[in-house]
């Protein structure tokens, strides 16, 4: 066991405290966002996340790829996609050369709705994190990205 893995190591305790604070903050922001989407758009955060992913892929995404991007099961994506399609916000497009596959992409109405929600989402986050300066936000985001990269690398190494 390395010193970083030892439960009595002071650094270990500080990392645990950091994780708990990150988790508490994430849950708090998540709950507030879910409430905002419900009240202001009669929508949900998962619907917004799906539309956000599609907004980055103008030609659309296969359902399996969309599940990977969102890191959720295909069943979760299918249910949300079905409801968004019923509302005319997304469309299913056949994949040339693959009769079994379809792409999911935003419709023009979907882009308009997503743009409205994205503006509100950014304003909500800006308000919730208003005590964080731009410099602090850049520094924290960069450091969190480093952590994520380290975790991804460790997972890849462990999987081999």
The domain locations on the chain are 3-129, 132-160
Report d(CA 99, CA 24) in Å as an integer: 45
Q: Is the pLDDT of residue 1 over 50?
A: no
Handedness of CA 134, 137, 140, 146 (dihedral sign): negative
SS3 126: helix
90 three-class SS? strand
Whether the model pTM is above 0.75: yes
Residue 5 banded pLDDT, cuts 50, 70, 90: low
Rounded mean pLDDT of 57-82? 89
How does pLDDT run across 22-69, given as a tens digit for each residue?
999 999 999 999 999 999 999 999 999 999 999 999 999 998 899 888
Tell me what pLDDT residue 40 has: 97
**Polymer length of the chain:** 160
Q: Listing from the earlier edge strand, what are the strands of the sheet with 61-62?
A: 61-62, 98-106, 90-95
- CA separation for the pair 128, 122 (Å, rounded): 10
- pLDDT, residue 154, reads 82
Written out in words, the top-level CATH class of the domain with range 3-129 is mainly alpha
78 C-beta neighbours (distance < 10 Å), count: 14
Token code pair at residue 118: 């994205």
DSSP states along 89-129: SEEEEEETTEEEEEEEEE-HHHHHHHHHHHHHHHHHHHHHT
CB atoms within 10 A of CB 102: 16
| Residues 46 and 75 sit within 8 Å (Cβ to Cβ) | no
């Amino acid at each position: 066991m390395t010193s970083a893995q030892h439960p009595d190591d002071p650094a270990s305790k500080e990392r645990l405290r950091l994780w708990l604070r990150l988790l508490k903050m994430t849950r708090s922001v998540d709950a507030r966002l879910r409430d905002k989407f419900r009240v202001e758009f009669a929508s949900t955060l998962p619907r917004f996340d799906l539309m956000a992913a599609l907004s980055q892929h103008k030609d659309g995404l296969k359902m399996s790829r969309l599940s990977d991007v969102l890191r959720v099961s295909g069943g979760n994506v299918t249910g949300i996609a079905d409801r968004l399609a019923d509302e005319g916000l997304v469309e299913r497009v056949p994949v040339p050369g693959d009769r079994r596959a379809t792409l999911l992409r935003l419709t023009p109405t979907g882009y308009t709705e997503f743009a409205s929600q994205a503006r509100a989402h950014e304003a909500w986050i800006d308000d919730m994190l208003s005590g964080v300066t731009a410099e602090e936000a850049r520094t924290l985001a960069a450091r969190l990205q480093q952590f994520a990269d380290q975790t991804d690398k460790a997972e890849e190494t462990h999987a081999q």
